[in-house]
């Protein structure tokens, strides 16, 4: 079959890489793709939000199956448009995608389905929101209700900074995403990510990971889209994973189905493992980025048939197998990210670094200009390694990072630190 991967980041490069290795894939197309994805198939200069352009491309190139990577096209209804045009598509409907597109919607569903999560309140007015802040103990958690590219969450010990975040969001700093704010009680514990495939009725658990959101070592600096990840998450024992399925994922899928909104796609639960057990921080309705870059290399099964089974409603007829090795990815970003940064710097020795270390480099924000790879985004490369331990995987990944010739880039040097501490103890 001909497969189209929609998106241009490291997540989409990893998905396209896995799909290209499948015997079921005759050809892989990417829209718009990036400098790394160009080696896997044909890149089409179509914006992921251009549903008409994507439908036309599917017809022109006889696309049999579409995999949507980013959240914004899902929330805007791209899956609905493609399916209405007769094109088989992996990804939830716009109604189901509200799980990520509206934090308020997700919190209300948690209340109805008795899913453990942080107590919260929703506000469209600053005065009421600030008054609610005064009833809470720090740290304060202020979230924009809508999609904000991973930058709509403020966690602070300072009530004045929390109040400023409320004003900023409600006054339009994040556009439509901040027209409503959600204020939550702070959850104490260790974060983990849990992934499952859903076909509207059946749920197939995948794997776990740990993301590193802060820009700098020691989990300091501003929040980002993610500076690295490791998989599996050591804190997620088999018993905890079973509990997450039983108390969080399965009730979510059942409740949506009962509401007439069956969930089809991948469900990504951001968790806090507290003293009382796992609690839901938020849902995402797509594969994580950079978590996909550590999930895909660990996957022993063929990814493409799994995604097709979810779309066809037959997940109960398939299973999934994983390599026992740990995986770790280090994000290399342009200096200045997540603030202002420059584009166009040249990146050298990517092939040499891969060959010397056995790592896989997924491109997240690059373009290919006359055969030269150039930076074209904030998060630019995802350097991924496998190892018998997280420590081994980290050593390989950083050895690869050190061979990449890109003076204009930077990375955290402590990705996987929680897991490595566990290994040492």
Q: Are strands 277-284 and 190-199 parallel, antiparallel or unpaired?
A: unpaired
Q: Which ranges in the chain are annotated with CATH 3.30.470.20?
A: 187-425
- Look at the domain 2-91 and name its fold: Rossmann fold (3.40.50)
Mention the CATH class of domain 187-425: alpha beta
- Region of poorest pLDDT, from 153-167, 298-312, 407-421: 153-167
The rounded radius of gyration (Å) of the Cα atoms in the chain is 21
Q: Which ranges in the chain are annotated with CATH 3.40.50.20?
A: 2-91
- Cβ pair 265, 203 in contact under 8 A: no
What burial class does residue 82 get, using C-beta atoms within 10 Å of its C-beta: 0-12 exposed, 13-18 middle, 19+ buried?
Answer: buried
The CA distance from 406 to 299, in Å, is: 30
Distances (CA, A) of 388 to 229, 324, 383: 16, 8, 17
Helix axes 417-424, 390-403, angle to 10 degrees: 130
The model's pLDDT over 347-401, given as tens digits with 9 standing for 90+, comes to 999 999 999 999 999 999 999 999 999 999 999 999 999 999 999 999 999 999 9
- Name the helix (H) or strand (E) containing 64: none
The model's pLDDT over 9-35, given as tens digits with 9 standing for 90+, comes to 999 999 999 999 999 999 999 999 999
- Three-class secondary structure of residue 91 per DSSP: coil
pLDDT for position 281: 94
Q: Which ranges in the chain are annotated with CATH 3.30.1490.20?
A: 125-179
Residue 121 confidence class, pLDDT cut points 50, 70, 90: very high
pTM beyond 0.75: yes
Residue 299 confidence class, pLDDT cut points 50, 70, 90: very high
The model's pLDDT over 139-155, given as tens digits with 9 standing for 90+, comes to 999 999 999 877 788 89
Q: Is the pLDDT of residue 91 over 90?
A: yes
Distances (CA, A) of 112 to 101, 136, 209, 256, 314: 18, 23, 27, 11, 27
Average pLDDT over the chain reads: 96
The model's pLDDT over 220-277, given as tens digits with 9 standing for 90+, comes to 998 899 999 999 999 999 999 999 999 999 999 999 999 999 999 999 999 999 999 9
Superfamily of domain 125-179: ATP-grasp fold, A domain (3.30.1490.20)
């Amino acid at each position: 079959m001909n497969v189209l991967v929609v998106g241009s980041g490291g997540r989409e490069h990893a998905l396209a890489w896995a799909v290209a290795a499948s015997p079921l894939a005759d050809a892989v197309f990417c829209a718009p793709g990036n400098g790394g994805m160009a080696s896997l198939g044909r890149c089409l200069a179509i914006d992921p939000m251009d549903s008409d352009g994507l439908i036309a491309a599917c017809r022109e190139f006889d696309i049999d199956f579409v995999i949507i990577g980013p959240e914004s096209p899902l929330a805007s209804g791209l899956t609905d448009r493609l399916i209405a045009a007769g094109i088989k598509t992996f990804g939830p409907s716009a109604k189901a995608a509200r799980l990520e597109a509206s934090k308020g919607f997700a919190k209300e569903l948690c209340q109805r389905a008795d899913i453990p999560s942080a107590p919260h309140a929703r506000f469209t007015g600053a005065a009421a929101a600030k008054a609610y802040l005064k009833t809470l103990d720090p740290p304060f958690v202020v979230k924009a209700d809508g999609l904000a590219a991973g930058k709509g969450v403020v966690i602070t010990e300072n009530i004045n900074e929390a109040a400023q975040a409320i004003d900023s969001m409600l006054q339009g700093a994040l556009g439509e995403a901040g027209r409503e704010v959600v204020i939550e009680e702070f959850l104490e514990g260790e974060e983990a990510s849990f992934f499952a495939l859903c076909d509207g009725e059946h749920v197939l658990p995948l794997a776990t990971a740990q993301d590193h959101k802060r820009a700098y070592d020691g989990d300091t600096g501003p929040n980002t889209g993610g500076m690295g990840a490791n998989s599996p998450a050591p804190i997620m024992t088999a018993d905890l994973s079973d509990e997450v399925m039983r108390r969080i994922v399965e009730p979510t899928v059942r409740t949506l189905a009962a509401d007439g909104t069956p969930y089809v796609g991948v469900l990504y639960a951001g968790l806090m493992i507290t003293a009382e057990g796992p609690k839901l921080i938020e849902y995402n309705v797509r594969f994580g980025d950079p978590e996909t870059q550590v999930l895909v290399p660990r996957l022993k099964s063929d990814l493409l048939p799994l995604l097709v089974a979810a779309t066809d409603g037959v997940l109960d007829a398939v299973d999934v197998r994983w390599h026992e090795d740990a995986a770790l990815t280090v994000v290399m970003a342009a200096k200045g990210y997540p603030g202002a940064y420059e584009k166009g710097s040249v990146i050298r020795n990517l092939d040499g670094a891969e060959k010397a270390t056995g790592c896989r480099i997924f491109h997240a924000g690059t373009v290919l200009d006359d055969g030269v790879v150039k930076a074209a985004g904030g998060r630019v490369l995802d350097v991924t390694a496998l190892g018998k331990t997280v420590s081994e995987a980290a050593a390989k990944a950083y050895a690869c990072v050190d061979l990449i010739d890109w003076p204009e880039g930077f990375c955290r040097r402590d990705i996987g630190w929680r897991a490595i501490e566990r290994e040492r103890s």
